[in-house]
Amino acid sequence: MLAPAVPPSTVSSPGTAPLPTPTTLSNPHPDGHGLQQATRTALADAGLTPADIDHVSAHANSTRAGDLAEARALSHAFSSTSPPVTALKSLLGHSLGAAATIQAACALLALRHQAIPPAANLDNQDDAVDLAIVSKAPRPARLRAVLSTACGFGGANAALILRGV
């Protein structure tokens, strides 16, 4: 018999926000407008502020347009200081429709283990990306709230906040 990785009583997901913002089928708005709005909506739904988020699990699909738009959205949402960010697709690849679910499961594991997984193969961070990206090794951290972002074809954006309880 398998035990759940995280007992249901220890996690809550108070902030969710699916939000479509079509620019083109595969390219997001350059400033990540839809993801900014989804993040703000998720924060409001959870009754949290940007300062309450301890870690971001970014969609980060390794396209220049997508990653820059997401970086701009997160930089805008977190104003002066972003929490540590990771990009799991660098470790797992892109599983298309299952990506957001896998990413949320990994965010739950980060909450459980109080550690942020690293992004793989990040040797030179783009100067246009003004985020604190965790790379090379896992980073121990006190995690209370994690934001997981997802961006899909046609401008579909979602932000999910998970909290340990």
pLDDT, tens digit, 9 for 90 and up, residues 38-75: 899 999 999 999 999 999 998 877 677 777 888 888 98
103 and 86 Cβ atoms separated by less than 8 Å: no
Does the global pTM surpass 0.85? no
Span 126-144, average pLDDT: 89
Token code pair at residue 35 = 């993801």
Span 110-136, average pLDDT: 87
Instruction: Report which residue type is found at 140.
Output: P
